Amino acid sequence: MNALNTLITEDGQYLMPGLPENATSEEHEALMKSGEGKPWALVSYHKAMDMSMPMNMIRGLLVDIIAVGMLCWILSKMNLPPFGTVLTASLFTGLIVFMTAPYTAHIWYENFDIWAHFMDAIVGWGACGLWLGWWFNRRDRRVAV
């Protein structure tokens, strides 16, 4: 940490080996060619640790509620979707979220927790689909209008 503290002045993510911000495209290309097959690192650096768990949990919960609300809106546009359709739509939502964010980042930066992200998407959105499948198919909703 002492070495990083002396070399890095701002919060951010740093690729090592790296180049200065004002490096030319030729310098970037030369670094890529010379680094082929050699070790590299991606460092996330923060000057101060902030473990504000309550605020992070509240923000995460709000984002989850909004995401499930969006899925509910899509499902509500279907005419009484059956349980299987709701469950499948929820699982597909989880896969879309996984493939467009963590997996796409993994393609470029090979993070080691990709399977944890995959399981989070499948288990979380699967559980959501089970509940929403029940919710959208309650008996009182099937009453003729």
Pick from 3, 1, 38: which is nearest to 17 by CA? 38
pLDDT at res. 16: 86
- pLDDT the model gives residue 52: 83
| pTM (predicted TM-score) | 0.73
Q: What is the structure's pLDDT at 116?
A: 95
Quickly count: other Cβ atoms within 10 Å of residue 83's Cβ: 15
Residue 135 pLDDT = 92
pLDDT for position 8 = 85
Structural domain boundaries in the chain: 2-45, 53-142
Q: Check residue 145 and give its pLDDT.
A: 46
Q: Between the CA atoms of 73, 74, 75 and 78, what dihedral angle is there, to the nearest 10 degrees? A: 110
b/e burial code for range 34-61 (CB count within 10 A of at least 16 → b): eeeeeeeeeeeeeeeeeeeeeeeeeeee
The per-residue pLDDT for 62 is 97
| Main-chain dihedrals φ then ψ at residue 110, nearest 5 degrees | 40, 65
Q: Mean pLDDT by 10-residue block, N- to C-terminus, for the chain (145 residues)?
A: 86 87 90 91 88 90 96 92 95 96 91 93 97 86 52
